Amino acid sequence: MKKLLMLALLGVFVSGALMAQSAYITFNRDYYHLLDRYEVLKGDFNPYFHSGIKPYRRDDVAPFFNSLNSDGLNRVDQFNLQYLKNDNWEFVDGETDKSKNPLWNTIYNKPSDFYYHRDDVFDVHVNPVIYFRGGSDSNQDEMNFRNTRGVVLRGSIDRKVGFYTYFTSNEVIFPSWTSDYVQHNGAVPGEGFWKPYGDNGYSYFSARGYVTAQVSKHISAQMGHDKNFVGEGYRSMILSDFSNAYMFFKLNTRVWKLQYTNLWAQMNADVFLNGNGRPTDGRYPKKWFSMHRLGMNLGKRFNLGVFESVMANQADWSYYNPVIFFRWVEHQLGTPDQVMVGTDFKWNFAKSMQLYGQFALDEFVFGEFFGIDGKNSSRNKHGLQVGYKYIEVFNIPHLDLQLEYNQARPYTYQEKQEYQAYTNYRTPLTNPRGANFREMISIVRYQPLPKLSLNFTGVYHYYGADPDEETNMGGDLLKNRLQGTDGLGLYGHTIGQGVENKVMVGSLTASYMLRHNLFLDLGHSYRRRTAQDLDSPEVTNYSQMSLRVNIGREDYNY
């Protein structure tokens, strides 16, 4: 894997065909919703980027901003459009805003940049990253908080090689249910190595970084340590941003109405971690992930994606072929590597409305899948998503609705061999719940004033938990597929088997933008869990206030 990545990187940067490029816009659901809503309102897909693979490149989205006509927009839309242009000002046509009172004529000359320098050779943008949060949890005696400080830097050299780096130092005490999740998995969601902080907190250093290049007019490359997301939903059943960042090399090829993405990644296997967040032997074993996805715009309003991916506990050159079927490779190698195939789509079927969805197939036996030979087989493993977006509900400006349903059958994403489950650093690569669940999500977003945004997110989980550590009912991806299933049989496996759990989470957040990318958040969450092994419902009320700069809003909707 290392040799392949080095050769690929060398090939990218010695190519004489290198063209202008940029860094990517970090995946942030509130930010990406703005991009999404204007495309849905427009109806037709934009010709500048495909939304099936996230994040997006800044120089790809800037032409989309330029194409939006600001004439006739209300003041909230005008504010949003100007905000997006200011945030990507180096790629936007015409003049963008300058700070009214730049400090010492050196910092914040542009609203989006603490400091920048741009000439014909070197382009660099530097910004602080801050997240201060204080919260009260009804199931905790002490106040929980987040203290994040760091720096983000992006830019390019010769307009041909782009770079991005982000690093923060963090001390966190999570809400009670998130602490339970961390204790069970031995990992902080979205992060890697951690250390205890006090009695109930966690301390960790977060870092991401990559380089980018435009290999040719139609092919771009990215190599580094970051995350990727596939799909249009709040969750992804294919590849999400929930786990820790990982080392990868990615090629994006865009020709006509097609986008073909190749992703090769090295991830951390699911070793047992001791109380300091380290594996017991002092080193993390690795596993290897590869994915191909082809996205096609069929007409102006329907996009179809097909993908295949493989998780292997040993690297093999055969998986590095960018135009081959992984299942064939697996058969030729004689390996039991975890191969998945599936599809995703989005359809702007009516004015201001979009349908989207995903289907990920883990294992397929024809007779069992269609219930001919046996019902609810443990080999019938798949994940499903169906979603709906309605922008400006009933023509109410800036009232947006999103509804989403997700499910994964028992044992989906698990595997029989060591280090082949769809996980990274002991957290799922897809949905936070893993498998053996059904989930319904509703999101209402309302922006009554240019700088004020309201968000209500409601989540309902129905899932089956294991009655003990030795039993595997198909939901915990950290368990081996063959262990803990003695006596359960091949058939009769249904979603929710095991200890039945029902969880409802409702979160209301108000965010006010004090200045560009400086937000004040006020929020309250209500969580209620009932389970067969609980005498009474487990209820949590959680209130929080936060101040954040150049970082997305956290949520704990699981």
Q: What is the DSSP string of 222-244?
A: EEEEE--EESSSSS-SS--SSS-
Which CATH number do you get for residue 423? Answer: 2.40.160.10
- 108: which 2 tokens? 């914040």
Q: CA-to-CA distance for 411 and 472, rounded, in angstroms?
A: 9
Residue 198 in any domain: the answer is yes
Percentage of the chain exceeding pLDDT 70:
89
**In this predicted structure, what is the pLDDT of residue 93?**
83
Q: Give dist(CA 481, CA 415) in Å, integer.
A: 5
Residue 556 lies in a domain: no
Residue 18 has pLDDT above 80, yes or no: no
Residue 350: inside a domain: yes
Mean pLDDT of 209-222: 93
Q: For residue 13, what pLDDT is reported?
A: 46
* % the chain with pLDDT above 90: 68
For residues 68 and 154, the model is more confident at: 154
Assess if residue 558 is contained within a domain. no
pLDDT score recorded for residue 373 = 62
Q: What's residue 4's pLDDT?
A: 47
Does residue 557 belong to any structural domain of this protein? no
Q: Is residue 555 part of a domain?
A: no
Tokens of 394: 């009933």
Could you report how far apart the first and last alpha carbons of the chain are, in Å? Answer: 34
To 10 degrees, the CA torsion angle through 148, 459, 350, 510? -40
> Quick check: 265 pLDDT over 70?
yes
Return the structure tokens found at 499. 């200890």
Domain housing 100 = 2-549
Note the pLDDT of residue 530. 97
CA distance 66 to 51: 18
Is residue 554 a part of any domain in this protein? no
- Does residue 133 register a pLDDT over 90? yes
pLDDT for 14: 46
Instruction: Identify the pLDDT of residue 16.
Output: 42
pLDDT tens for residues 363-398? 766 666 676 666 788 888 999 999 999 999 999 999
Q: For residue 420, give both structure tokens.
A: 């082949």
Question: Is 100 a residue whose pLDDT tops 90?
Answer: no
All residues at 6 or more sequence positions from 184 whose CB lies less than 8 Å from its CB, including other chains: none
| pLDDT 10s digits, 63-99 | 998 888 777 788 999 999 999 999 999 998 877 888 7
How many folded domains does the chain comprise? 1
Is the pLDDT at 329 greater than 90? The verdict is no
Segment 490-503 shows an average pLDDT of 93
Domain membership of residue 295 (yes or no) is yes
Greatest C-alpha distance within the chain? 76
pLDDT beyond 70 at 267: yes
Burial (CB count within 10 angstroms: exposed 0-12, middle 13-18, buried 19+), residue 115 = middle
Give the DSSP per-residue string, 175-211: -HHHHHHHHHHTS-TT----EEETTTEEEEEEEEEEE
pLDDT at 438 over 80: yes
DSSP assignment, residue 279? B
Q: What is the dihedral of CA 72, 77, 80, 81, to 10 degrees?
A: -30
Instruction: Please compute Rg for the chain using Cα positions.
Output: 23
pLDDT the model gives residue 72: 73
